[in-house]
Amino acid sequence: MVDVAQLAGVSPSTVSRTLRGLTNVTPDVRARVEQAARELNFAVSRQAASLVTGKTGAVAVLVPTLNSWFIGTVLDNLGPMLRAAGMELVVYVTPNMAERASFFERLPARRNADALLVFSFDLTDEEATRLDDLEMPVIYVSQHAKGRASVYVDDVDASRKGTQHLINLGHRRIAFFQTIGPSGFVFSTHERLTGYRQALAEADLAFDEELVVASSADDERGIVEAVGQLLTLREPPTAIFVDQDQVAVSVLWSLRRAGIEIPNHMSVLGFDDHETARWADLTTIAQQPADIGRAVGELYQTLVNDPEADREQHIVLPTRLIPRNTTAPPPRDAPAPGV
């Protein structure tokens, strides 16, 4: 920076002021400084700046994986917003429990970021409490943390709408297929199961544990087995609600291989409105990760710039049912309700 100052014939302070876009600089001087900076290919060192300002200019993101449509889409939309605000995005990937434990033990973001976005979906209370020590705004994405800022879709309501759609079509035996993540069920899965149960209860349908199956998303055999399990029940379902589109598509394949026609013999409902849902012509409940990304970006701005802002606010985004061709009324010969 001194080099730039020298070349422009001003003091370092002036260079600093100019480069940060402060107003009190003569246009003439500003031009000279900018010219000099360009000539010298100069960029301000964030490190040195943060040492004095106390801000790091970075926002940390905690994710279990980066190989995820949801997380990827959120970040694709969030990234440019943060960038526009002059912030870097530093990512902590914790693909296994060891990495995750190490993150919570060392809390590496501690003095090295101005805010933390948590995508881990299934934090324990203990972990969340640990993050409270961080002395920076923490935003929870896709899970509601009590008393902490969060952005998510209303999974309970969404799932209830989906189940109602099946009930309205005439289904009485509706299975629920849960996805297991690398570290167990994630937050949304619980919520979606709750919505399913609510809808059943509202329609006076009994909840049947046999109709709830689970498998890991990337475990092909597990999915096939879970589907097989449903098909061999004494009273098999006429519809399956799968809590993720990508798994739902696998379920479709399994069913078709078992010779089951969709939607005539079995309805399948997904969740997400992932691209493959369009391909598979899958009825699904749409959530918009792009919107979530933008909402997170805005909430971040609010929390950082407005000290008056509610630091525990929850932003809930809408979902909607997208009817396509994998759901239909149940087959005529299905057991009539109550028989």
Partner DNA sequence: CTGAAAGCGCTAACAA
Partner DNA sequence: TTGTTAGCGCTTTCAG
Give the residues across from 264 on adjacent strands.
Answer: none
Q: Say which entry of DNA, a copy of itself, none residue 205 contacts (CB below 5 to 8 A, set by partner kind).
A: none
Distances from the Cα of 55 to the Cα of 75, 111, 118, 297, 304, angstroms: 22, 9, 20, 18, 11
253 binds a copy of itself (CB under 8 A): yes
Q: Closest separation between CB of residue 338 and a copy of itself, Å?
A: 38
Which SS3 state, helix, strand or coil, does residue 115 take?
A: strand
Q: Which of 117, 91, 77, 153 is nearest to 317 (CA)?
A: 153
Part in contact with a copy of itself (CB under 8 A); list of ranges 7-15, 78-86, 163-171, 323-331: 78-86
Residue with the two structure tokens 């943390």: 145
Q: Which of 88, 126, 130 is nearest to 110 (CA)?
A: 130
What would the x/- binding string for DNA be over residues 29 to 48, using CB under 7 A? x--------------xx--x
What would the x/- binding string for a copy of itself be over residues 104 to 143, using CB under 8 A? --xxx-xxx--------------------x----------
User: CA 287, CA 290: separation in Å to the nearest integer?
Assistant: 9
Q: Say which entry of DNA, a copy of itself, none residue 339 contacts (CB below 5 to 8 A, set by partner kind).
A: none
97 binds a copy of itself (CB under 8 A): no
20 binds a copy of itself (CB under 8 A): no
CB burial of residue 315 (10 Å; 0-12, 13-18, 19+): middle
Q: Count other C-beta atoms under 10 Å from residue 34's C-beta.
A: 15
Out of 25, 33, 71, 151, name the contact with a copy of itself by CB under 8 A.
Answer: 71
Q: Say which entry of DNA, a copy of itself, none residue 264 contacts (CB below 5 to 8 A, set by partner kind).
A: none
User: CA 92, CA 108: separation in Å to the nearest integer?
Assistant: 9
Q: Say which entry of a copy of itself, DNA, none residue 218 contacts (CB below 5 to 8 A, set by partner kind).
A: a copy of itself
92 binds a copy of itself (CB under 8 A): yes
- How many residues touch a copy of itself under the rule CB under 8 A: the total is 52
User: CA 233, CA 304: separation in Å to the nearest integer?
Assistant: 54
Q: Count other C-beta atoms under 10 Å from residue 331's C-beta.
A: 14
Nearer to a copy of itself, 82 or 169 (CB): 82
User: CA 64, CA 43: separation in Å to the nearest integer?
Assistant: 33
Q: Which of 237, 264, 282 is nearest to 331 (CA)?
A: 264
Which residues in 268-307 contact DNA (CB under 7 A)?
A: none
| Residues engaged in binding DNA (CB under 7 A) | 1-2, 9-14, 16-17, 19-20, 23-26, 28-29, 44-45, 48-49, 51-53, 111
| Residues engaged in binding a copy of itself (CB under 8 A) | 41, 43-48, 50-51, 56, 58, 65-69, 71-73, 75-77, 79-80, 83, 88-93, 95-96, 99, 102, 106-108, 110-112, 133, 218, 220, 249-250, 253, 275-276, 278-280
